[in-house]
Amino acid sequence: MLDPVDRETEARLRERVDPEKLERHVDAFEGTERVSGTDDEWEAAEYVVETLREYGCTAELHEFEGYISVPEDARLDVTAPTRETFDEAITASFGASTPPDGVSGEVVRLDDVTEESVAGADLDGKVVFTTGLPTPEPITLLDAAGAAAVIYQSVNPEQLHEMIVTPVWGTPGLDDGDELPSLPVAQIGQDAGDWLLTRCEAGPVEATVTTEVTTELTTLPCPVGRVEGTESDRYLVVGNHVDSWYEGITDNATAMAATLELARIAADDPPARGLVFGFWPAHSTGRYAGSAWWADREWLDLRENGVAYYHLDLNGLDGADGLWHQEMAELGDEHLDVLETAGELPLLDGGEAGFLGDDRPARNSDQSFWGAGLSSLLSGARLEPGGEGGPIGGGWWWHTPEDTRDKVDIDVLAEETRIAVTLASRLCESPSLPHDYRATATDIREQVTEIEAETGRSFDGVHEDLDALEAALAAAYERIEGVDAVGSDAAAAA
């Protein structure tokens, strides 16, 4: 039988990955702080476009108005029963700014911010104190409960990790603007948090939280490159983010370097299906406003011609010891085969996936393309979460000023780039796309069955629809395999 998946071209293309070119691109971003809307971000975007054009890609530097939120400053003042100031604190993107004198209240300790813990506490006008990473779900719960502010104790003994707390994806519209948080957020170090916890356990504590956040519409750059397919208008989208917290060399200059190297290889040897390369702004301070804007702009074409979205992030991590991955079910087997074929590091177990989760893509990482129907994949080398790996396996330096050039292992970055080249080759050169939607139907049925078990409800109509879908898929794949068999017989006869 003729193989509908091309696994030969990739071997030749993998050999073309040049570590020296990767290193040159990484070094080009050293010393820049590419916070969205800044001159450094614009200069990085211009470098990307110039490099793409130099390599022979079509490239355009788009501009758009994005709603971004840049944390500026935070301070915690404990005012009773003793007085203590903690000015080594940060706030969060889309946290609220306080008046100059801050907001004050009694401190209420919550070990975990859940629906149950919030419902069981009187938080109206209180300053909530908890431990963890500030994320949208707990902030939304605390905001709705009337909390005056929230203090987070860092999960890292030595570092404070920049975070974003809005649940709104991209620039908000008229229908979701009221979902933006109105809660001041402060994050303090572990030692400061331990001190505060001891005081809270001893009796009532009063505190004032002061925060400053700049939240506004800003003109942003969005570099996008393209290599047209030689036989098809369909294409794979490969994305990363051009913006950063501080220098952000592993988050995300290394991914930009890997994408540029993939673009060079593709431009030298154009594939049957095309490639689009997106360098998204406002990943960090706009809840993926760049990819969301471009997905809206290109929605009709993405719906008709996009085959998948592959996101590159946190690449070239020094000390990485395993490969993390997420994918939609229809590309699960193929993605794993790519990692085993092109990767040298072992696959991480699901339990080692950390904050970003495992198995299926989640609501993070510029996942702006589901609505247009693109299958989604993410993978890369990671450390084990905790200790040197930090909270998500991206290194203890993740989202801190310590994300600098010395945290990069070019050999790891080259391996990840070879993985990206291999995956792109499979998706863009194979006679038939390697998607197996039978796996998707099975995955959906498993999810529905789990929901039924948890809720005690039955969704017979959904199962009937899935029965019909699975029958149609079985007939379609039987026909595809029959065509392959005819082709194989013809080749043997020749």
Q: What's the domain count of the chain?
A: 3
In the prediction, which pLDDT does 202 show?
97
Q: Within 89-205, where are the H helices?
A: 115-119, 136-144, 190-202
Is residue 414 a part of any domain in this protein?
A: yes
CATH (domain of 302): 3.40.630.10
Whether residue 195 sits in one domain with residue 160: yes
Whether residue 145 sits in one domain with residue 47: no
In the prediction, which pLDDT does 362 show?
85
Whether residue 312 sits in one domain with residue 237: yes
Whether residue 267 sits in one domain with residue 404: yes
Is residue 177 a part of any domain in this protein?
A: yes
Contact 159, 89 (CB under 8 A): no
Whether residue 202 sits in one domain with residue 82: yes
Is residue 3 a part of any domain in this protein?
A: no
Torsions phi, psi for 239 (to 5 deg): -125, 160
Query: Tokens for 211?
Result: 């925060």
Whether residue 384 sits in one domain with residue 278: yes
Q: Per-residue confidence of the chain (494 residues) as pLDDT tens digits?
A: 457 788 999 999 999 999 999 999 999 999 999 999 999 999 999 999 999 999 999 999 999 999 999 999 999 999 999 999 999 999 999 999 999 999 999 999 999 999 999 999 999 999 999 999 999 999 999 999 999 999 999 999 999 999 999 999 999 999 999 999 999 999 999 999 999 999 999 999 999 999 999 999 999 999 999 999 999 999 999 999 999 999 999 999 999 999 999 999 999 999 999 999 999 999 999 999 999 999 999 999 999 999 999 999 999 999 999 999 999 999 999 999 999 999 999 999 754 455 555 688 888 899 999 999 999 999 999 999 999 999 999 999 999 999 999 999 999 999 999 999 999 999 999 999 999 999 999 999 999 999 999 999 999 999 999 999 999 999 999 888 877 655 544 444 44
Is residue 4 a part of any domain in this protein?
A: no
In the prediction, which pLDDT does 195 show?
98
Helices (H) and strands (E) in the chain, counts: 13, 12
Which residues face 221 on adjacent strands?
Answer: 63
Boundary (domain end) residue, out of 215, 247, 269? 215
Whether residue 116 sits in one domain with residue 195: yes
Whether residue 174 sits in one domain with residue 263: no
Q: What residue type is assigned to position 201 of the chain?
A: E
Is residue 207 a part of any domain in this protein?
A: yes
Whether residue 289 sits in one domain with residue 270: yes
CATH (domain of 95): 3.50.30.30
Boundary (domain end) residue, out of 406, 429, 452? 429
Q: Residue 27: how many CA atoms within 13 Å on its side-chain side? A: 7
Whether residue 76 sits in one domain with residue 63: no
Boundary (domain end) residue, out of 192, 215, 238? 215
Whether residue 403 sits in one domain with residue 285: yes
| Rounded Cα gap, residues 443 and 447, in angstroms | 6
Q: Could you list the residue range(s) of the whole structural domain that residue 371 is in?
A: 9-68+217-429
Whether residue 281 sits in one domain with residue 382: yes
| Rounded Cα gap, residues 242 and 306, in angstroms | 22
